[in-house]
């Protein structure tokens, strides 16, 4: 089985070295390139075509969000994991709308970074637990038990289509929205409902009759 090819970009060498060391301990991951600024990261994505790029949000010459947006606009297939100190919803939303697959806090555990890379490589969306709590707090006006009535009609569509096994690209095509917007909806739905990953969304959808299991 081929390993997941990863680019890691951070302008702080000590931080970058630490993350590289962490990722290289995972047998299923191969770090194929490093970059210290956004322009170099985008160039490496274009030239090396890694499966996943782990990008610091605050790099010189181009931010991680800008790199993600440009990679998306160029039609590059690399999944983006954004690493940030920011928990604010504006940063998280901007990242997902730029097309990222995962948003990880720098204060997160090493396991979360590994989980984010593995999820992104599998075409899934990943949100740090701390971010999920922050987004949920910002959606506090939706307070109450996490029933389907807490979800907008578009969010219910997203949950149903995920439960039916559609990938983000297929959901985007069916609903006529961008893949980054699909990622953002998936992230906010997971935060609202307190679930993690596709399995959690599928269980929720079946429990609340938003989707059914085929015979």
Domain that holds residue 75: 4-134
Of the candidate ranges 84-93, 125-134, 137-146, 178-187, the one whose mean pLDDT is the lowest: 137-146
CATH number at residue 95: 3.40.50.2300
CATH of the domain at 202: 1.10.10.10
Q: Are residues 123 and 202 in the same domain?
A: no
| Total domains present in the chain | 2
213 occurs within a structural domain: no
| 105 and 200 part of one domain | no
Q: Give 191 or 2, the one with higher predicted confidence.
A: 2
Does residue 158 share a domain with residue 62? Answer: no
Same domain, 128 and 156: no
**Confidence (pTM):** 0.75
Burial 145-154 (b: 16+ CB within 10 A, else e): eeeeebbeee
The tens digit of pLDDT for each residue in 7-21 reads: 999 999 888 898 899
Q: What is the pLDDT of residues 37-83, one digit of tens each?
A: 999 999 999 999 999 999 999 999 999 999 999 999 999 999 999 99
Residue 167 above 50 pLDDT?
A: yes
Q: Examine the pLDDT at 144 and tell me if it is beyond 50.
A: no
Residues 148, 192, single domain; the answer is yes
Domain boundary pick from 117, 134, 151: 134
């Amino acid at each position: 089985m081929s390993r997941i090819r990863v680019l890691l970009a951070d302008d702080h060498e000590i931080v970058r070295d630490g993350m590289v060391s962490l990722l290289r301990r995972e047998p299923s991951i191969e770090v194929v390139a490093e970059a210290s600024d956004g322009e170099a990261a985008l160039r490496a994505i274009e030239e090396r075509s890694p499966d996943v790029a782990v990008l610091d949000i605050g790099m010189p010459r181009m931010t991680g969000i800008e790199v993600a947006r440009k990679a998306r606009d160029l039609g590059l297939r690399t999944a983006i994991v954004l690493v940030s100190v920011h928990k604010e919803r504006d940063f998280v939303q901007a990242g997902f709308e730029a097309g990222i697959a995962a948003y990880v806090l720098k204060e997160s555990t090493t396991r979360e970074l590994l989980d984010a890379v593995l999820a992104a490589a599998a075409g899934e969306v990943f949100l740090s637990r701390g971010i999920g709590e922050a987004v949920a707090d910002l959606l506090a006006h939706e307070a109450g038990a996490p029933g389907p009535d807490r979800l907008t009609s578009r969010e219910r569509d997203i949950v149903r289509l995920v439960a039916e096994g559609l990938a983000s690209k297929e959901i985007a095509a069916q609903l006529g929205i961008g893949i980054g917007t699909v990622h953002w909806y998936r992230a906010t739905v997971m935060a609202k409902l307190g679930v993690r990953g596709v399995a959690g969304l599928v269980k929720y959808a079946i429990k609340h009759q938003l989707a059914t299991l085929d015979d």
